[in-house]
Amino acid sequence: MLLTAVYYDGRQARPHPVTLCVEGDKLLLQGREIVRRENLASLKIPPPLGSTPRLILFADGGRCEVADRQGFAEMLQDAGSSAVAGMENSWWYALAALLLTLSLLVALYLFALQHLTLHIMWMR
Protein backbone atom coordinates (compact mmCIF):
# COMPACT_ATOMS: atom_id res chain seq x y z
CA MET A 1 0.00 0.00 0.00
CA LEU A 2 1.37 3.42 -0.98
CA LEU A 3 0.44 6.64 0.79
CA THR A 4 1.22 10.18 -0.23
CA ALA A 5 2.67 12.44 2.45
CA VAL A 6 4.69 15.59 3.03
CA TYR A 7 8.19 15.28 4.47
CA TYR A 8 10.12 18.00 6.29
CA ASP A 9 13.82 17.27 6.78
CA GLY A 10 14.18 19.26 10.02
CA ARG A 11 16.73 21.64 8.52
CA GLN A 12 14.63 23.63 6.06
CA ALA A 13 10.98 24.62 6.13
CA ARG A 14 10.51 23.40 2.56
CA PRO A 15 7.98 20.57 2.18
CA HIS A 16 8.92 17.53 0.10
CA PRO A 17 6.09 15.47 -1.45
CA VAL A 18 6.83 11.79 -0.82
CA THR A 19 5.24 8.36 -0.91
CA LEU A 20 5.32 5.91 1.98
CA CYS A 21 5.14 2.16 2.12
CA VAL A 22 5.99 -0.51 4.66
CA GLU A 23 8.46 -3.26 3.72
CA GLY A 24 8.56 -5.78 6.54
CA ASP A 25 9.74 -3.90 9.64
CA LYS A 26 10.93 -0.84 7.70
CA LEU A 27 9.24 2.30 6.43
CA LEU A 28 10.28 3.34 2.94
CA LEU A 29 9.93 7.05 2.23
CA GLN A 30 10.59 8.13 -1.37
CA GLY A 31 10.48 11.53 -3.01
CA ARG A 32 12.13 13.37 -5.86
CA GLU A 33 15.28 14.15 -3.84
CA ILE A 34 14.81 11.86 -0.83
CA VAL A 35 14.95 8.16 -0.12
CA ARG A 36 14.81 6.96 3.48
CA ARG A 37 14.49 3.48 4.91
CA GLU A 38 13.89 3.48 8.65
CA ASN A 39 13.08 0.76 11.16
CA LEU A 40 9.51 1.14 12.36
CA ALA A 41 10.72 0.65 15.94
CA SER A 42 12.95 3.75 15.69
CA LEU A 43 10.10 6.04 14.62
CA LYS A 44 7.89 8.01 16.96
CA ILE A 45 4.25 8.01 15.93
CA PRO A 46 2.15 10.22 18.20
CA PRO A 47 -1.47 9.22 18.76
CA PRO A 48 -4.08 10.80 16.50
CA LEU A 49 -5.21 14.26 17.51
CA GLY A 50 -8.64 15.28 16.25
CA SER A 51 -8.69 15.60 12.47
CA THR A 52 -5.07 16.75 12.08
CA PRO A 53 -2.70 14.84 9.80
CA ARG A 54 -0.92 11.88 11.35
CA LEU A 55 2.76 12.44 12.13
CA ILE A 56 5.84 10.29 11.81
CA LEU A 57 8.80 11.70 13.75
CA PHE A 58 12.36 10.71 12.86
CA ALA A 59 15.30 10.67 15.29
CA ASP A 60 17.23 13.27 13.25
CA GLY A 61 14.47 15.90 13.55
CA GLY A 62 12.70 15.10 10.29
CA ARG A 63 8.98 14.59 10.24
CA CYS A 64 6.36 13.36 7.84
CA GLU A 65 2.71 14.44 7.74
CA VAL A 66 0.16 11.98 6.37
CA ALA A 67 -3.25 13.43 5.47
CA ASP A 68 -4.88 10.03 4.74
CA ARG A 69 -5.63 9.00 8.32
CA GLN A 70 -7.54 5.86 7.35
CA GLY A 71 -4.82 4.68 4.98
CA PHE A 72 -2.20 5.40 7.62
CA ALA A 73 -4.09 3.31 10.17
CA GLU A 74 -4.36 0.43 7.71
CA MET A 75 -0.73 0.66 6.61
CA LEU A 76 0.73 0.58 10.12
CA GLN A 77 -2.16 -1.17 11.88
CA ASP A 78 -2.35 2.17 13.73
CA ALA A 79 0.98 1.87 15.56
CA GLY A 80 0.38 5.23 17.27
CA SER A 81 -3.00 4.34 18.69
CA SER A 82 -3.59 3.58 22.35
CA ALA A 83 -6.41 3.33 24.85
CA VAL A 84 -5.62 6.86 26.02
CA ALA A 85 -5.95 8.20 22.46
CA GLY A 86 -9.36 6.56 22.22
CA MET A 87 -10.44 8.20 25.47
CA GLU A 88 -9.12 11.59 24.32
CA ASN A 89 -11.38 11.43 21.27
CA SER A 90 -14.52 10.38 23.16
CA TRP A 91 -17.07 12.85 24.50
CA TRP A 92 -18.37 10.23 26.90
CA TYR A 93 -15.02 9.87 28.65
CA ALA A 94 -14.62 13.66 28.80
CA LEU A 95 -18.09 14.00 30.36
CA ALA A 96 -17.38 11.18 32.83
CA ALA A 97 -14.08 12.83 33.83
CA LEU A 98 -15.85 16.17 34.35
CA LEU A 99 -18.57 14.56 36.50
CA LEU A 100 -15.97 12.69 38.54
CA THR A 101 -14.00 15.89 39.12
CA LEU A 102 -17.10 17.83 40.17
CA SER A 103 -18.16 14.99 42.50
CA LEU A 104 -14.75 14.96 44.14
CA LEU A 105 -14.80 18.74 44.56
CA VAL A 106 -18.26 18.60 46.19
CA ALA A 107 -17.17 15.75 48.49
CA LEU A 108 -14.00 17.63 49.44
CA TYR A 109 -16.00 20.81 50.11
CA LEU A 110 -18.50 18.99 52.32
CA PHE A 111 -15.77 17.13 54.21
CA ALA A 112 -13.71 20.31 54.69
CA LEU A 113 -16.80 22.25 55.81
CA GLN A 114 -17.71 19.58 58.35
CA HIS A 115 -14.13 19.32 59.59
CA LEU A 116 -13.80 23.10 59.89
CA THR A 117 -17.12 23.35 61.76
CA LEU A 118 -16.04 20.67 64.27
CA HIS A 119 -12.69 22.37 64.69
CA ILE A 120 -14.32 25.75 65.46
CA MET A 121 -16.79 24.14 67.91
CA TRP A 122 -13.96 22.32 69.68
CA MET A 123 -11.99 25.54 70.16
CA ARG A 124 -14.83 27.16 72.16
Query: Which of the 8 DSSP states describes residue 78?
Result: S
- The whole-angstrom separation of Cα 40 and Cα 75 is 12
Give the pLDDT band of residue 95 (cuts 50, 70, 90).
very high
pLDDT of residue 51: 85
Q: Would the pLDDT of 11 be above 80?
A: yes
Any residues with CB less than 8 A from the CB of 5 and at least 6 apart, and which? 17, 18, 19, 20, 29, 56, 64, 65, 66, 67
Overall residue count recorded for the chain in this entry: 124
Question: Which residues, in sequence order, are bridge partners of residue 100?
Answer: none
CA-based nearest residue to 63, from 46, 50, 75, 77: 46
DSSP-derived secondary structure for 40-68: GGG-B-PPP-TTSPEEEE-TTS-EEEES-
**pTM reported for the whole predicted model:** 0.63
Residues 55-67, mean pLDDT to the nearest whole number: 94
pLDDT the model gives residue 80 = 46
58 band by pLDDT with thresholds 50, 70 and 90: very high
Classified as helix, coil or strand, 112 is helix
Residue 84: its pLDDT value, please?
A: 65
**Quick one: pLDDT at residue 65?**
96
Bridge partners of 64, per DSSP, are: 7, 56
Average of pLDDT values for 35-58? 90
Confidence of residue 83 (pLDDT cuts 50, 70, 90): low
Residue 67, number of CB atoms within 10 A of its CB? 13
